Amino acid sequence: MADHIHTSAEDEHDSAYSGLLVNDAHWAFGTDFEDPLAGVDTTIPDGVDAATLSTYALMLGDDSLVMSHRIAEWTSNAPDLEDDIALSNIALDLLGQARLLLARAAKADDAVVPALPEGSPAPPEDALAFFREAHQFRNVRLAEVVNGDFAEATVRVLLFSVWRLAVFERLRESRDHVLSAVAAKGVKELAYHRDYAARWFVTLARGTDESRRRLITAYDALWPLWPELFDAHPVEAAAAEAGVGVDPATVREAAEAVLDQVLTAADVERSEAPRRSGVLGRTGRDGMHGEPLSRMLAEMQSVARAHPRGQW
Amino acid sequence: MSRTTERARRVAERVTDPELPMLSLADLGVLRDVDVVGDSHVVVDITPTYSGCPAMAAMRDDLVRELTGAGFDRVEVRVSLQPAWTTDWITPAGRAALAAAGISPPGPAPSTSGPIPLSLLPTARQVRCPQCGSPATELVSEFGSTACKAQYRCTECLEPFDHVKEI
């Protein structure tokens, strides 16, 4: 009988799971991630209000996180392998931006970070992603709507990246070292996202009657969310005033000039669909979202919330 | 530079990229600085390649393991976000190592100052086949074995190969 009793050392050797927690820095939520901003100058620039900087970073970070999640839902569902990888790659770039921006928000003012049970290994950026309610998210509503067909993904990535690239081109001049660095790297990524979506926009518009019909249907459906991207929330206006942020209203002309180039190449008229109103004037930046965001977060956050002290 | 710093630098320069193991982090241009504080506390600065690149954590872990293995008590890996990494930082030795491994090295990175003009045509690159040297190559997919490489095919020797995309 004694021969069959394993020592604990043998068990460890035999178990496929042993060692999983030894070197786990590459796993996602709940691991002992090192600070993504380690070594970066996170001093708040002179004359800048910490809460303003933090909320501004949260807004940009939430745009990236929510859009990344929606695009990631295409993984294994795109029409062909190349576009599956392209969309996953776009989602990954946005997730990388989200991590730095949410970490920046937490570092500027830790009052935004939800309290977690004692012993939780979740770093602040994970606490922000997984432990806030929908009304605490400050993303624009374009990012959160439920996915449609491939034409819808094309139009959404195009509108989002044309707008965001115009903002990031200016954000490179931010007085905040983290925001300027995220923007400097982000413009290269967003230029690729934009060009990828713009080519598909033109291809679908000039393809078959059916591809053109779907493209224009998606464009008309998303266009009502475009004006919201250029509304200056008081926090964005204050961040711009302090030299750390960009007032989105000031990039509208530049963004629309780029979009018009795509529409012209695609032979598509600018949509006349009216803007989608907010609720009592409140929109995504105010934490006013549609039901789809709640459903998305319920799925995205469920494991982290069930195991706030979990390590994997 | 002290002899200890020099030794730490040599160890850090040995660490290779997890996805391009023929390239050291120094050849890739990711390793920005190696410094020793006190007797055996090493501070390494690395620059992320892409914002969400999953290889960054592996690079960090490999640096910690190699330097700890070389006898340094404390290893701190810091992130240097600016200036942003570009493929232009891949050294001539790194480019030669890529080509020797059958991977086409990147050409000059596009300028990213000012507004970035819209491009509605597929990215045109002058890519030579790393196997036979022929310039007669065609793009198969903008994504190869990893998202940062495109897949090409040589129409001369018919071999497929990866090309590191310029950023």
The ranges assigned to domains in chain B are 3-79, 120-167
**Helix crossing, A150-171 with A81-108: angle to 10°?**
40
Residue A24's pLDDT band, with cuts at 50, 70 and 90, is very low
pLDDT for position A1: 42
Asked if residue A13 is part of any domain, the answer here is no
Q: How far apart are the C-alpha atoms of B66 and B64, rounded to whole Å?
A: 6
Residue B124 has pLDDT above 90, yes or no: no
A96-120 tens-digit pLDDT: 999 999 999 999 999 999 999 888 8
Could B51 and A194 be called an inter-chain contact, meaning their C-beta atoms sit closer than 8 Å?
no
How large is the average pLDDT for residues A129-146?
Answer: 97
CB A145 within 8 A of CB A293: no
- Residues whose CB is less than 8 angstroms from the CB of residue A241 and which lie 6 or more positions away in sequence, other chains included: none
pLDDT for position A9: 46
pLDDT for position A312: 63
Could A26 and B76 be called an inter-chain contact, meaning their C-beta atoms sit closer than 8 Å?
no
HSE, side-chain direction, 13 A CA sphere, residue A42: 22
Closest Cβ–Cβ partner in A86, A169, A199 for B120: A199
pLDDT for position B76: 92
Q: Can you give the CATH number for the domain in which A248 is found?
A: 1.20.1260.10
Residue A18's pLDDT band, with cuts at 50, 70 and 90, is low
Residue A8's pLDDT band, with cuts at 50, 70 and 90, is very low
Closest Cβ–Cβ partner in A25, A178, A182 for B61: A25
Q: How far apart are the C-alpha atoms of B111 and A310, rounded to whole Å?
A: 44
Percentage with pLDDT > 70 across chain A = 89
Q: What is the 3-state secondary structure (H, E, C) of A188-228?
A: HHHHHHHHHHHHHHHHHHCCCHHHHHHHHHHHHHHHHHCHH
Residue A29's pLDDT band, with cuts at 50, 70 and 90, is very low
In B, what residues contact A, Cβ < 8 A? 43, 45, 48, 50-54, 57-58, 60-61, 76-85, 112, 114-116, 118-122, 141-143, 147, 167
Q: How far apart are the C-alpha atoms of A221 and A70, rounded to whole Å?
A: 17
pLDDT for position A4: 46
HSE, side-chain direction, 13 A CA sphere, residue A57: 35
Residue A14's pLDDT band, with cuts at 50, 70 and 90, is low
Residue A39 has pLDDT above 90, yes or no: no
- Check residue A270 and give left, alpha or beta (phi > 0: left; psi -120 to 50: alpha): beta
Question: How many residues does the structure list for chain B?
Answer: 167
CA-based nearest distance B19→chain A, Å: 14
Which residue of chain B has the CA closest to A37? B79
Which amino acid belongs to residue B10?
Answer: R
Domain that holds residue A114: 49-305
Residue A15 has pLDDT above 70, yes or no: no
Question: Among A198-202, B123-127, B157-161, which stretch is predicted with the lowest mean pLDDT?
Answer: B123-127
pLDDT for position A121: 85
| pLDDT higher at B141 or A210 | A210
Q: Tell me how far CA of residue A207 lies from CA of A31, A198, A200, A269, B122, in angstroms.
A: 47, 14, 10, 16, 17
B11-70 tens-digit pLDDT: 999 999 988 899 999 999 999 999 999 888 999 999 988 777 777 888 888 999 999 999
How large is the average pLDDT for residues A145-168?
Answer: 98
Residue B152 has pLDDT above 90, yes or no: yes
Task: Report the mean per-residue pLDDT for chain B.
Answer: 92
Q: Compute chain A's Rg from CA coordinates.
A: 22
Residue A28 has pLDDT above 50, yes or no: no
Interface test with B, best of A24, A107, A182, A185 (most B CBs within 10 A): A185
Residue B22 token pair: 């023929």
CA quadruple A203, A206, A208, A213: dihedral, nearest 10: 100
Residue A70 has pLDDT above 60, yes or no: yes
Closest Cβ–Cβ partner in B79, B122, B143 for A86: B143
Query: A14: part of which helix (H) or strand (E)?
Result: helix A8-14
Could A92 and B79 be called an inter-chain contact, meaning their C-beta atoms sit closer than 8 Å?
no
pLDDT for position A31: 40
How large is the average pLDDT for residues B89-117?
Answer: 93
Q: Which residues of B touch A251 (CB under 8 A)?
A: none
Interface test with B, best of A188, A246, A262 (most B CBs within 10 A): A188
- The CATH number of the structural domain formed by B3-79 is 3.30.300.130
How large is the average pLDDT for residues B72-83?
Answer: 90
Closest Cβ–Cβ partner in B85, B120, B167 for A202: B120
**Could you tell me what percentage of chain B is helix, strand and coil, using 3-state DSSP and rounding each to the nearest 5?**
25, 25, 50
Q: Could you give the number of structural domains in chain A? A: 1
Residue B113's pLDDT band, with cuts at 50, 70 and 90, is confident
Question: What is the longest distance spanned by two Cα atoms in chain A?
Answer: 82
Residue A3's pLDDT band, with cuts at 50, 70 and 90, is very low
pLDDT for position A10: 45
What φ, ψ does residue B138 adopt, rounded to 5°?
Answer: -135, 150
Asked if residue A8 is part of any domain, the answer here is no
What φ, ψ does residue A217 adopt, rounded to 5°?
Answer: -60, -45
How large is the average pLDDT for residues A224-236?
Answer: 98
Per-position b or e across A185-219, b if 16+ CB within 10 A of its CB = bbbbbbbbbbbbbbbbbbebbeeeeebbebbbebb
pLDDT for position A77: 96
Residue A169 has pLDDT above 70, yes or no: yes
Q: Which residues of B touch A85 (CB under 8 A)?
A: 141, 143, 147
How large is the average pLDDT for residues B113-136?
Answer: 92
Task: Name the nearest CA neighbour of A156 among A73, A81, A233.
Answer: A73
- Residues whose CB is less than 8 angstroms from the CB of residue B143 and which lie 6 or more positions away in sequence, other chains included: A82, A85, A86, A89, B149, B150, B151
Q: Tell me how far CA of residue A1 lies from CA of A5, A6, A11, B10, in angstroms.
A: 7, 11, 17, 54
Task: Name the nearest CA neighbour of A161 among A27, A58, A287, A251.
Answer: A251
What φ, ψ does residue B164 adopt, rounded to 5°?
Answer: -75, 120
Which residue of chain B has the CA closest to A65? B52
Which residue of chain A has the CA closest to B115? A169
Task: Report the mean per-residue pLDDT for chain A.
Answer: 90
First to last CA, chain B: 32
A248-286 tens-digit pLDDT: 999 999 999 999 999 999 999 999 999 999 999 999 999
Could A40 and B81 be called an inter-chain contact, meaning their C-beta atoms sit closer than 8 Å?
yes
Could B81 and A187 be called an inter-chain contact, meaning their C-beta atoms sit closer than 8 Å?
no
Q: Is the ipTM reported for this complex over the cut 0.85? A: yes
Q: Which residues of A touch B145 (CB under 8 A)?
A: none
Residue A148 has pLDDT above 50, yes or no: yes
Residue B74 has pLDDT above 50, yes or no: yes
Question: Among A181-185, A249-253, A277-281, A308-312, which stretch is predicted with the lowest mean pLDDT?
Answer: A308-312
Residue B136 has pLDDT above 60, yes or no: yes
Residue B26 token pair: 């120094």
